[in-house]
Amino acid sequence: MPSQSIVILVTVMVYMAVMVLIGLRFSKKNNSVGDFYLGGRKLGPLVTAMSAEASDMSSWLLMGLPGVALAGAIGARVGYIEAVWTALGLAVGTYLNFLFVAKRLRRYSEKLGANTIPDYFSERFGETSGLLTLIVALIIIIFFVPYTASGFSGVGKLFNSLFGIDYHVAMIIGAIIICLYTTLGGFLAASTTDFIQSIIMTVALFTIVGFCVSDSGSLSASLEAAKSVDGYFNWTGADGGYGALPIASTLAWGLGYFGMPHILLRFMAIKDDNKLKISRRIASVWVVISMAVAIFIGVIGVAFVRSHGLVESLGADFDAERIIIYIADEFSRKNILLAVIAGLIVSGIMASIMSTADSQMLAASSSMSENIIKRFFWKKMSNKSSMILARITVVIITVVAIFFAWNPKSSVFRIVSFAWAGFGATFGPVMLLSLFWKRCNKYGATAGLIAGGIMVFLWKFVIAKLGGVFAIYELLPAFIINLIVCVAVSLLTPKPEDKIIRTFEEIKNM
């Protein structure tokens, strides 16, 4: 292995060791399952904001988004503009989620004593049979396992590209490390590491821009290559076919925020809900800047790819999603100092992966242990047994996700896209109605969840294949169907009990 690769590898390993140490430190603060899954509702506004966004962005920020922007210059029909519209939808969604959902969900979940999303829905609607809890828990597991797997896949791609390590070996080692600190430290460890990782991700993004511009000689030279691609900067795609409907469906990414369990849990965990305004401002600014820089890397990456002949030299092995890896690897060859900086950049990619995977593993684990196993099979479990079960389920989720990540050709962007649609279309409408419409009842919520979940799969794998107006992002139609079904069924069935209405009014008037 070349000396610069050894330096990068050592830097990354040191970073990963620090994450494990953080998990070990917080392991002593988990005295109950509530601490393990929600940190005892003790998060500050800065950690709430940055851990929410770091867990949100995942490897999609440093791999998926630049890759989509770059792909528009090497054969994709849209590429750059798809990345722009997606980022715009996410930026708006981030702001609105903090503005409308965060504070009310924090107050509602504490009032109801809910530590998980399934707990919240079950208590909010007074559903005692366990059916709603089971449906919500299964949805979280179904969509979070492939979502987590996309992160593990990112680790495999990363180490395979830089060090020539077998994809599967690298992917498994990365999964074990993420599992280790998450199992040890729980939610507090995940949130703290996410905060640190958001800083590293930010440094990595700006450093890569500097490297890319330096490689081309100037900013104008970096942009020139992208400008030379016919139709690359067209707001309707290279061929002009990216019209109003595709744009609307791409902007619909923002709707997904209302149903993201790992983000909603951050709202539930903040210590002082009056500080959420600070969190909103921090999160909104960071997400706009980080996504803009990520897209910009894809744009100026066109010049880098051309000047180094990467498409020609790598052939079928070229992967636009690895553009940051290619850039970091090239500059690490110059001297030891740049190799260390390249190591920090690679650590940034690892940070983006780990910050999402840990949160997803916890959310899926809580659904399995708290809302399925304890709810239906082992109700009188002791606190010690509950903690053991919580940690075991994190390990189980990790193992299952490893199998989903086994294919090295899987696209990070596409996997995340489908999982995002799944959560947004199932939980999003029901979450909004549960917080702002007192007439919404357990029958409507259950029907809406099922309708939204079915429609995501139906639209993705059947209807969208018809093409034309049907070839839109499955999140949008599934979200609308869920909303309609939830409202209609709620109105056609008995209104919620007086106790539920009184709690709703109490939270509304706080």
Per-residue H/E/C for 323-370: HHHHHHHHHHCCCHHHHHHHHHHHHHHHHHHHHHHHHHHHHHHHHHHH
Higher pLDDT, 273 or 1: 273
pLDDT confidence band for 292 (50 / 70 / 90):
very high
- In sequence order, the 6+-apart residues with CB closer than 8 A to the CB of 51 are 43, 190, 191, 192, 194, 195, 198, 266, 355, 359
In degrees and rounded to multiples of 5, residue 45 shows phi and psi of: -65, -35
The answer to whether the CB of 349 falls within 8 A of the CB of 62 is yes
Listing DSSP states for 51-72 in one string gives HHHHHHHHHIIIIIHHHHHHHT
| Band of pLDDT at residue 143, cut at 50, 70 and 90 | confident
Mean pLDDT of the chain: 82
Task: Count each helix (H run) and each strand (E run) in the chain, helices first.
Answer: 22, 0
- Strand stretches in 89-191, DSSP E: none
Q: Give me 396's structure tokens.
A: 């189980």
H or E element, residue 376? helix 374-376
Per-residue confidence (pLDDT) for residue 234, from 0 to 100: 75
The dihedrals phi and psi of 270, each to the nearest 5 degrees, come to -65, 145
Can you give the length of the chain in residues?
Answer: 510
Q: Which of 330, 324, 325 is nearest to 307 (CA)?
A: 330
Q: What is the pLDDT of residues 89-128, one digit of tens each?
A: 889 999 999 999 999 999 999 899 888 888 899 999 998 8
Report phi then psi at 43, rounded to 5: -70, 140
Structure tokens at 234: 């067209």
Which residue do the tokens 């890569």 mark? 208
Model confidence over 40-98: pLDDT tens digits? 667 778 878 877 777 777 667 777 788 888 887 776 656 678 888 888 988 999 999 99
pLDDT at 487: 97
Query: Quick check: 47 and 380 in contact, CB under 8 A?
Result: no
Instruction: Return the SS3 of 183.
Output: helix
Average pLDDT over residues 403-417: 72
Rounded CA separation 110/104 (Å): 10
Two tokens at 227?
């400008």
If we measure between CA atoms, which residue out of 430, 56, 413 comes closest to residue 254? 56
3-state DSSP helix/strand/coil % of the chain, to nearest 5: 80, 0, 15
The residue that leads in pLDDT, 114 or 187, is 114
Q: Look up residue 271 and give its DSSP letter.
A: S
317 confidence band (pLDDT: 50, 70, 90): confident
What average pLDDT does range 187-202 have in this prediction?
74
d(C-alpha 305, C-alpha 308), whole Å: 5
Taking only the tens place, the pLDDT of each residue in 318-359 is: 888 788 888 887 877 777 777 888 787 777 777 767 767 777
Q: What is the pLDDT of residue 38?
A: 62
pLDDT at 409 over 80: no
Q: Which of 351, 62, 8 is nearest to 192 (CA)?
A: 351
pLDDT at 26 over 70: no
Q: Running DSSP on this structure, what letter comes out for residue 316? A: G
The three-state secondary structure class of 43 is strand
Give the model's pLDDT for residue 359.
72
pTM over 0.75: yes
Question: What is the distance between the alpha carbons of residues 58 and 63, in angstroms, rounded to a whole number?
Answer: 9
Pair 303, 222: CB distance under 8 Å: yes
Structural tokens at position 216: 């081309």
